[in-house]
Amino acid sequence: MIVDPCIPSSWDEFSVVRKIRGAEYRIHVINQDRVSSGVVSIKVDGQPLDGDIIPYFESGIHEVEVELGEVIGRGGKVEERQREGAKMLEEAVWG
């Protein structure tokens, strides 16, 4: 699952719960810089994540904290990350 929210800059935070198969992802997005988009950090179960693709879990409840802000010098292309995420999900679901 790719986390890359695009929201009104007036929102300072929001939360959403996403259930995928046997796992529950409790996603909390913090927007202290009042931007519309731009993920600067993600933590999954308290551990920093490199990138914006949330790992697939078969079960359990997982806390995801996303911080938005000004992104400077970030590499990679959105389309490429989307393809990678879709491939990971397909492999997880269909084997």
Q: CB-hemisphere CA count at 13 Å for 84?
A: 13
Under the banding of pLDDT at 50, 70 and 90, the label for residue 71 is: confident
Tokens 């790992």: give the residue.
Answer: 55
Q: Which residue has the higher pLDDT, 27 or 52?
A: 27
Please tell me the predicted confidence (pLDDT) of residue 25.
97
Please tell me the predicted confidence (pLDDT) of residue 70.
82
Question: Residues 51-72: what's their mean pLDDT?
Answer: 90
pTM of the model: 0.72
> What are the helix (H) ranges across the chain?
78-94
Please tell me the predicted confidence (pLDDT) of residue 79.
47
How far apart, in whole angstroms, are the C-alpha atoms of residue 27 and residue 78?
20
Please tell me the predicted confidence (pLDDT) of residue 28.
97
Mean pLDDT of the chain: 84
